[in-house]
Structure 1
Amino acid sequence: MSDHDNPGQRHLSDHGIGDHTTHDHITHIDWAVLGPLLEQGAEVQAPFFEAAAAWLRELLTDADAPEAAATADAGPDGPRTGPRTGPRPHPVRRILDVGSGPGVTTCLLAQAFPDAEAVAVDATEALLARTRDRAARLGLGDRVRTHLAELPGGLDALDGADLIWSSKALHHVGDQRGAVAALAGHLRPGGLLAVFEGGLNPRFLPRDIGIGRPGLQSRLDAVGEEAFTEMRAALPDAVDAVEDWPAFLADAGLRTPRTRSFLLDLPAPLSAEAREHLRATLLRSVEVYGDRLDEDDRTTLGRLTDPDDPAGITRRPDAFLLSAQTVHTARAQ
């Protein structure tokens, strides 16, 4: 979720709220204002994170999972019985949420794995403070703790983990393959690394919204891709590589890769919280790459982000939120 630009955690999205900005800008951010917006955005996306956490729990703890069951496989000479090689149920005692932001996912993981300690790892103390407050409100204060650190280093002071989750943080590290390997090195035997990278850009408005030129979101996607490419190229020690996350996991020595995408489908009419999340996303888009857009699109965005404009995102009955998010996993030997 990251909720995420040097090799470290970021906390604003390249395409809106949800990712992180550059580390150089972090000192200029008013976290008293941004922190609540990040937390609100993560809460809006909670259905995705809950579904992903349930899947991870299934992979790690389901004694009836296919990987752990005895099988009857057909060979050239007929049925072949015996245990399938592969991972076995693995107790989860410790979780690292790397690039945790305000800790919404950290707490969801703690709830999904009630026997585990969950450690939120982030580069911003103000967001870690929000994590501690959230954990206390949810009655998780005895199992959720925080650690101030940046990627790819900063984890050596922590013990190994049975589950490491990283959401939209690794694409802000110059050497993504190396970052995956660094995280994999902190897994306990049989532990799982889960990397949330990729998916589809969210959609939240019709193609023709009645103001400005139709197709605004497609143009936002295009300039966002340009800005993302420039961000990647400017990272320290940036390494060009095909963004094949399962291959990165395999190169790190992990096995039994699994990839799954989860749908976030919030139809119209949206809740007030979801509408405010979308408004914050659009405001961030204007801030990050508004100068790449033409005057007509900037005018349209001005109206969409105006809470008093009848055509604004917070007052539109046609606003929705549809997104597909992808999680890549693999396990330690």
Structure 2
Amino acid sequence: MSDSHGHEGRNGQESQHAGRRGHPHGHGHGHGHGEGWADFDWEALLPLLVGEAELFSGAYGEAAAWIGGQRPDAEVRRILDIGSGPGVVTCLLAQAFPQAEVVAVDGNRALLGHALARAERLGLADRVRTIEAELPADFGKLGEADLIWAGNSLHHLGDQRAALAGFAGLLRPGGTVALAEGGLPTRRLPRDIGMGQPGLEARIDVLVDERFARMRAELPDAKEETEDWAALLTSAGLTSPATRTFLVDFPAPLDPAVREQVVSAFTRHLETVGEGLSPEDRAVLGRLLDPADEAGLALRPDVFLLAARTVHTARRAN
């Protein structure tokens, strides 16, 4: 439920994730992996980050309800949103847990400012706080929590096992860690779109995965891990692991706001992995992004958005 910074992740979501120096920005993004995040213009990406996080807010809301329902008798007084980005999910968590203080944690001060402004607009300013932090160095700044949400941010920390141990150490008795990691690649077009070779999105996925692997390898203290999230959570001393996947389904024909996000996602693909595509695929992408082309994303009637986001939870014993 974080909604940090924009980069197309392995599950296809434009996410907000931790930078190469360890400041996670999580929800809603396509990973622009490979660039130094310190040099990234997050302000320019803000509309994309907010738009995609809002697009996925239904799934995030279902996830929040599921987490709350795991222990309906538990009191949730303080929540950490790790890699909060501009605060879309931070505010959603504040709405889902009306007794809780929700703390947006991010390494980007400007994005934290947007999180506070959003909370003010939604009447949540009395319960939303921010902490500017570079993880893992700044774990000591965060304080205790009853719920720690890390939405597409953990994989931006080199040593994920150590980071989970750090999260576990911040939990109050009975508290929960919730990770949004994995799912399925987002699909926006039919396999055969009537131009070029069928399977364009699958070929883009291969390049995105390769870019993701390079990003992981370049992180400080990077360690390879089998992505068995339940096992990693229990290795941190947590119990009762659970997993659930939430569907995001916008069938064709799309309304203009969703269509705009689809165009933004393919624009990011062209910018981040376009050089790895064949000349034919790049030409097809060019047509898809041409607002005047009847076969383009702006006008074709068969554009949709279908995604699956997986959330993994585990608890500290009472």
Q: After TM superposition, is the score higher than 0.5?
A: yes
TM-aligned CA deviation for residue 325 of structure 1: 0.8
Name the residue aligned to 1:3: 16
Q: 1:297 to 1:22 in 2, by over 3 A?
A: closer
Q: Deviations over 1:83-131 (max 9, x none)?
A: xxxxxx3100000000111111110100000000000111111211111
Q: Secondary structure at the match of 2:283?
A: helix
Q: Does 1:300 align with 2:284?
A: yes
Name the residue aligned to 1:80: none
Contact 2:158 2:219 (8 Å CA) reproduced:
yes
Give me the whole-angstrom Cα distance separating, in 1, the residues matched to 2:40 and 2:221: 25
Give me the whole-angstrom Cα distance separating, in 1, the residues matched to 2:224 and 2:142: 30
Give me the whole-angstrom Cα distance separating, in 2, the residues matched to 1:45 and 1:235: 27
Give me the whole-angstrom Cα distance separating, in 2, the residues matched to 1:47 and 1:150: 29
Q: 1:27 to 1:327 in 2, by over 3 A?
A: same
Give me the whole-angstrom Cα distance separating, in 1, the residues matched to 2:141 and 2:135: 13
Q: Does 1:277 align with 2:257?
A: no
RMSD: 1.8
Q: Deviations over 1:169-196 (max 9, x none)?
A: 1111111111111111111111000001
Name the residue aligned to 1:140: 124
TM-aligned CA deviation for residue 30 of structure 1: 3.0
Give me the whole-angstrom Cα distance separating, in 2, the residues matched to 1:305 and 1:10: 30
Name the residue aligned to 1:149: 133
Name the residue aligned to 2:100: 116
Contact 2:105 2:133 (8 Å CA) reproduced:
yes
- How do residues 186-265 of structure 1 correspond to structure 2 at under 5 angstroms? 186-265=170-249
Q: 1:218 to 1:173 in 2, by over 3 A?
A: same
Q: 1:59 to 1:19 in 2, by over 3 A?
A: farther
Q: 1:228 to 1:20 in 2, by over 3 A?
A: closer
TM-aligned CA deviation for residue 306 of structure 1: 2.5
For 1:41, which of 14, 31, 52 is the aligned residue? 52
Structure 1: tracts of 5 or more residues without a match: 63-88
Q: Which stretch shifts more, 231-240 or 293-302?
A: 231-240
TM-aligned CA deviation for residue 315 of structure 1: 2.2
Q: Does 1:171 align with 2:184?
A: no
Give me the whole-angstrom Cα distance separating, in 2, the residues matched to 1:22 and 1:229: 9
Structure 2: tracts of 5 or more residues without a match: 4-14
Q: 1:201 to 1:9 in 2, by over 3 A?
A: farther
Give me the whole-angstrom Cα distance separating, in 2, the residues matched to 1:229 and 1:136: 38
TM-aligned CA deviation for residue 46 of structure 1: 0.9
Q: Secondary structure at the match of 2:125?
A: coil
Contact 2:16 2:25 (8 Å CA) reproduced:
yes
Give me the whole-angstrom Cα distance separating, in 2, the residues matched to 1:132 and 1:269: 35
Q: 1:190 to 1:234 in 2, by over 3 A?
A: same
Give me the whole-angstrom Cα distance separating, in 2, the residues matched to 1:95 and 1:289: 36
Q: Secondary structure at the match of 2:134?
A: coil
Q: Which stretch shifts more, 4-13 or 171-180?
A: 4-13
Give me the whole-angstrom Cα distance separating, in 1, the residues matched to 2:32 and 2:170: 25
Contact 1:51 1:262 (8 Å CA) reproduced:
yes
- How do residues 86-125 of structure 1 correspond to structure 2 at under 5 angstroms? 89-125=73-109
Q: Deviations over 1:141-189 (max 9, x none)?
A: 1111111112223231232000000011111111111111111111111
Give me the whole-angstrom Cα distance separating, in 2, the residues matched to 1:24 and 1:301: 22
Give me the whole-angstrom Cα distance separating, in 1, the residues matched to 2:60 and 2:240: 22
Q: Deviations over 1:198-241 (max 9, x none)?
A: 11011110011122221101101111111112221222211122
Give me the whole-angstrom Cα distance separating, in 1, the residues matched to 2:21 and 2:30: 14
Q: 1:281 to 1:228 in 2, by over 3 A?
A: same
Q: Secondary structure at the match of 2:39?
A: coil
Contact 2:24 2:154 (8 Å CA) reproduced:
no
Give me the whole-angstrom Cα distance separating, in 1, the residues matched to 2:185 and 2:282: 20
Give me the whole-angstrom Cα distance separating, in 2, the residues matched to 1:27 and 1:331: 33
TM-aligned CA deviation for residue 309 of structure 1: 2.5
TM-aligned CA deviation for residue 26 of structure 1: 3.0
For 2:299, which of 315, 318, 323 is the aligned residue? 315
Aligned residues: 303
Q: Does 1:327 align with 2:276?
A: no
